[in-house]
Amino acid sequence: MARVHIIGTGGTIASRSGQAGASEEGQGHIDGSIASDTIGDLVASASATAGAGKLQVTTEDVMTLGSYQLGLPEIREITAAALTRAAEAAVDGVIVTHGTDTLEETAFLVDLVNVTDTTVVFTGAQRAADQPDSDGPRNLHQALTVAADPRFCGMGALIAFDGRVQTARGARKAHTTASQPFDGGATVGLFRNEELDLIARPARPCTLPLPGTEFGTTRVDVITAYPGSSPDALRHAAQSGAAGVVLAGTGVGNAGPGHADAVADLISSGIPVVLSTRVPSGPMVPIYGNGGGVDLIAAGAVSAGHLNPFQARILAAALLTENPTLTEFTTLFSQLR
- The dihedral through the CA atoms of 23, 24, 25, 26 has a sign that is positive
* Active-site residue, from 12, 97, 250, 330: 12
Q: Are 145 and 158 in contact (CB under 8 A)?
A: no
User: How far is 161 from 107, CA to CA, in rounded Å?
Assistant: 13
H or E stretch at 118: none
Buried b (16+ CB within 10 A) or exposed e, 177-194: eeeebbebbbebbebeee
Q: Identify any residues that bridge with 248 across adjacent strands, giving them in sequence order.
A: 224, 276
Q: Cα–Cα distances in Å, from 52 out to 45, 49, 146?
A: 12, 5, 11
Tell me how far CA of residue 100 lies from CA of 15, 65, 199, 280, 298, in angstroms. Answer: 12, 12, 24, 16, 36
Alpha helices in the chain (DSSP H): 39-43, 46-49, 72-86, 103-113, 136-147, 232-239, 259-268, 293-298, 309-320, 326-336
Interatomic CA distance for residues 201 and 203, integer angstroms:
7
Sheet holding 119-123, edge to edge: 55-65, 2-10, 93-97, 119-123, 157-161, 164-167, 187-192, 195-198
For the question of residue 12 being annotated catalytic, the response is yes
3-state secondary structure at position 335: helix
Side-chain half-sphere exposure of 204, counting CA atoms within 13 A:
24
Alpha helices in 166-255 (DSSP H): 232-239
> Phi, psi (5° rounding) for residue 59?
-140, 160
Cα–Cα distance measured from residue 265 to residue 235, given in angstroms and rounded to the nearest whole number: 8
Q: Mind telling me the catalytic residues?
A: 12
